[in-house]
Amino acid sequence: MAFTTKATIASFGGKLLKLSHQAKSTNCEMGLNLYLPPQAASDSGKKVPVLFYLAGLTCTGDNGAEKGFFQHGASQKGMAIVYPDTSPRGLNIEGEDEAYDFGSGAGFYVNATKEPYSKGYNMYTYITEELPNALFSSFKQLDSSRMGITGHSMGGHGALTLFLKNPGMYKSVSAFAPIANPINCPWGQKAFKGYFGEDQQQKWKEHDASELVKQWKGPLDILIDVGTGDNFYKQGQLLPENFMKAAKESGNDKDIKLRMQPDYDHSYYFISSFAEDHIAHAAKHLLAYVPSPPQTPPAVSTVPRGEALPWQPAFRGPMGDEPGIPTKILPPPLPIARPLSVQSRQSAVAALLNTFAPRGGPVVVRLPISPPHDRLATPTTPCLPPVVDRGPPSVATYAACCTAGNDQFGAEAAGRLCADV
């Protein structure tokens, strides 16, 4: 399915594309915004993870792209962002444009079963199937194995329900001021009555995050922000407490973080204030997931042996003998070439640390060893010496302790080495 590019806008080193395409599920032309970070340059061959941002009532794909301030963090993490529309447009259904909270701009990310809205109001299928399939087919730099989802208000409802209804499809989820219990608030009751019918109460529950969370099995790491100055929160439209109560009663609340932000309202001033927190939350999951290595390994670096890296890491060890220190272990095979020169192995370690290192904590990285380059240390080359060897033959374990501001390397290098994901 081909996209039409209506505009290309430079943004934080990447490109914001304003796109449109004909969608079968919604029976109309759908508009959207797609942000490609600098790491997704078309000639780089690198695939980047994708975060879907679902907007709220009355919005289009432009609101989050233009006012949410997501691109800044996404450019640093190397993450693409998709900003879809919130409903079909121009279906000429009687009454679809009469209210801000139903019909146009208010699709609620469900598949309508009640006539006449069942003829095009299929935003659930559009967001979970048709749109991602079209994007991954047209933009090869997008990684279909690493999708996350977030959203605001009605879009926060969409993010939570789509994540909970599709275990494993999305690697991360978060929400801004979500409509967290729609079957018990005026917005949700109006929408579900119009899209499903008043007598379809079970169908209502199938699209309510506070009902779905009761059935969840396994870890559930969710970040939710709500402003205490939000008038819709005060009116009982959001009901985040109901979601947390249901999660607690089902034993699923341990990793759900609900942050009540003092004085913030429901606007994009609120969203933009915490956008980078949600980008970091998504990156924690999207960048930690390592897809299967490619069939054809990348070419071996030809950088001359002995050329120094621009930073000198600090070390502690052996990490394996120090209990209580959290580590992330990346077992082989890794998508890196063999044999590895000194410089290429150092570059691989640096790249892995940039992705996985938690601020102030050690990281353990395992790399294949290819003789005759079993030793990284030379008199003139900074290196990561082997401190633990717990792996199978031909695998050595290297460790570096990241501490921002450490005297042994500069702040710029510390920021690059200890990326905060």
Q: How far apart are CA 274 and CA 257, in angstroms?
A: 14
On the CB side of 102, CA atoms within 13 Å amount to: 19
The residue whose two tokens read 């100055």 is 229
Q: Evaluate whether 421 touches 358 at the Cβ level (below 8 Å).
A: yes
**CA of residue 102 relative to chain centroid, distance:** 28
Q: How far apart are CA 179 and CA 193, in angstroms?
A: 16
Q: How far apart are CA 109 and CA 318, in angstroms?
A: 51
- Can you list the alpha helix ranges (DSSP code H) found in 218-305? 231-234, 240-249, 268-286
Helix or strand (DSSP H, E) at 348: helix 342-356
251 CB contacts (<8 Å, ≥6 apart)? none
Is 207 annotated in the active site? no
Residue type, 134: A
Is 389 annotated in the active site? no
- Active-site residue among 230, 253, 281, 285? 230
Residue type, 402: C
- Active-site residue among 25, 87, 104, 153? 153
Q: How far apart are CA 150 and CA 148, in angstroms?
A: 7
In 24-155, where do the E strands start and end?
A: 28-36, 48-54, 80-84, 142-151
DSSP 339: S
- Active-site residue among 152, 157, 207, 266? 266
The residue whose two tokens read 């609120």 is 270
**CA of residue 263 relative to chain centroid, distance:** 27
Q: Is 58 exposed, middle or buried (0-12, 13-18, 19+ CB in 10 A)?
A: middle
Is 153 annotated in the active site? yes
Paired residues of 238 in beta bridges: none
Q: Evaluate whether 89 touches 28 at the Cβ level (below 8 Å).
A: yes
Give the strand order in the sheet containing 14-23. 4-11, 14-23, 28-36, 80-84, 48-54, 142-151, 172-176, 222-227, 256-261
Catalytic machinery residues: 153, 230, 266
